[in-house]
């Protein structure tokens, strides 16, 4: 089963992604590339593109609702790691739902996390 986030990307193009500047400082254990951020205030930076009227994180690759992914997924900011996709862990996520609805996508449901049989494979014959 493909992870639903890999065909979504809505939260990356809906929310301002703000976090402490230390997440961009390798000497303090930060991993987020500083060049992908801009200053928000003395303590926080934002991912470029998420401060605009129609936000879209600079790290988002692909087409929202079709095929989208984070270009820096393994080193993404802590606030991104904290957003749970709805129903991945047995509960809905208001953030996930808001982002999806804003982009005309239906919120994820528990069924979205079930493995669906491949329709191209014929069913096994039934024994009598």
Backbone angles phi and psi of 20, in degrees to 5: -65, 140
Please list the pLDDT of the chain residue by residue as tens digits (128 residues). Answer: 678 888 899 999 999 999 999 999 999 999 999 999 999 999 999 999 999 999 999 999 999 999 999 999 999 999 999 999 999 999 999 999 999 999 999 999 999 888 755 544 444 445 44
Helix (H) or strand (E) holding 21: none
> Among residues 53, 57, 62, 64, which one has the least CA distance to residue 8?
64
C-alpha to C-alpha distance for 19 and 37, rounded to whole angstroms: 10
């Amino acid at each position: 089963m493909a992870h639903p986030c890999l065909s979504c990307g809505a939260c990356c193009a809906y929310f301002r992604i703000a976090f402490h500047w230390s997440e961009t400082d390798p000497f303090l254990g930060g991993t987020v590339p500083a060049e992908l951020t801009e200053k928000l205030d003395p303590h926080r930076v934002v991912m470029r593109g998420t401060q605009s009227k129609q936000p879209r994180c600079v790290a988002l690759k692909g087409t929202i609702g079709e095929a989208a992914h984070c270009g820096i997924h393994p080193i993404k900011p802590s606030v991104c790691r904290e957003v749970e996709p709805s129903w991945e862990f047995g509960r809905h996520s208001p953030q996930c739902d808001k982002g999806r609805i804003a982009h005309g996508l239906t919120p994820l449901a528990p069924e979205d996390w079930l493995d669906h049989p491949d329709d191209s494979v014929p069913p096994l014959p039934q024994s009598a």
